[in-house]
Amino acid sequence: MYEIVAFYLFSALTIGLFLVTVMSKNILYSMTSLASGMVLISGFFFILGADFLGVVQLIVYVGAIMALYSFAMMFFDATRDIKEKNTNNTLVFLLGGLTALVLVLMFAAPIYSENIQALYPMHEGVGNAQDVGIVLFTKYLVPFEVAALMLLVAMIAGIILAGKKMDESLTEDMSADDEIVRETEIEKDDK
């Protein structure tokens, strides 16, 4: 009973919030509803008894969307509405709708045809984190390590891209400093 109420509550809230994310013209509204929607998704994990994944969802998305906010801060004026440039509304609607339809069909098909069975059911008496760890380091070891490697590559690339001229200031005009030094030297000489 608890779970059904919680499920419908979370579902309604999540769908509503993500609708705001898509529909709103205000960057602050869309970002905030995206963040809170992601936080609410962790509620589904808690309902399913996957506490560990729920908390991971919480921590990961809180951090990820915080980074997204910093981009929003740099690109937009957060207090004003944004004029979107949609050249062809029907095309956007069609493509978006089709993608959504395909996704729903993809995920609904196995549920409709037969009941989903857990390939790696949770062990009784073993914690959630341990279960995830066991699966990650046996069955999914290769994808896990590949993902780690890709993240490492991305990190190194980011450091190299951003770090090229780190010792030089981009905003400061050094010639101005030299002028000031020269002027003070001239003044000293005058005295």
Partner 1 sequence: MEAVNILPEVTWVGVLIKAILILAIISALAGFGTFVERKVLAFMQRRLGPMHVGPYGLLQIAADGIKLFTKEDIIPQNANKLIFMIAPIITAATAFIALSAVPVFPDFTIPEFVPLLGGVFVPSIASDLNIGILFVLGMMAAGLYGPLLAGMSQANKWGIIGAARTAVQFLSYEVVTGLSILAPIMLVGSLSFVDFNDYQQDGVMSWMIWQQPVAFVLFLIAGFAETNRTPFDLLEHEAEVVSGYATEYSGMRWGMFFIGEYANMITVSIIAAIVFLGGYDAASAFGWLFIMLKIAFFFFLMLWVRASWPHIRPDQLMWLCWKVLMPLAVINILVTAIVMMV
Which residues here bind partner 1, judged by CB under 8 A? 2, 26, 28-29, 32, 35, 39, 46-47, 49, 51-52, 55-56, 58-59, 62-63, 66-67, 69-70, 72-73, 78-79, 127-129
At its nearest, how many Å lie between partner 1 and the CB of residue 73? Answer: 6
C-beta of 67 vs 174, nearer to partner 1: 67
At its nearest, how many Å lie between partner 1 and the CB of residue 143? Answer: 22
C-beta of 106 vs 161, nearer to partner 1: 161
Beta bridge partners of 26: 81
At its nearest, how many Å lie between partner 1 and the CB of residue 187? Answer: 31
At its nearest, how many Å lie between partner 1 and the CB of residue 177? Answer: 19
Question: 50: closest CA among 156, 171, 135?
Answer: 135
C-beta of 35 vs 41, nearer to partner 1: 35
Using a CB cutoff of 8 Å and minimum separation of 24, what contacts does 48-54 make? 49/122, 49/128, 50/128, 51/128, 52/127, 52/128, 52/129, 52/131, 52/132, 53/128, 53/132
Q: Is the dihedral of CA 11, 38, 30, 99 positive or negative?
A: negative
Question: 22: closest CA among 7, 37, 10, 40?
Answer: 37
C-beta of 92 vs 126, nearer to partner 1: 126
Which two tokens mark 58? 């919480």
At its nearest, how many Å lie between partner 1 and the CB of residue 134? Answer: 14
C-beta of 84 vs 114, nearer to partner 1: 84
C-alpha gyration radius of the chain: 26
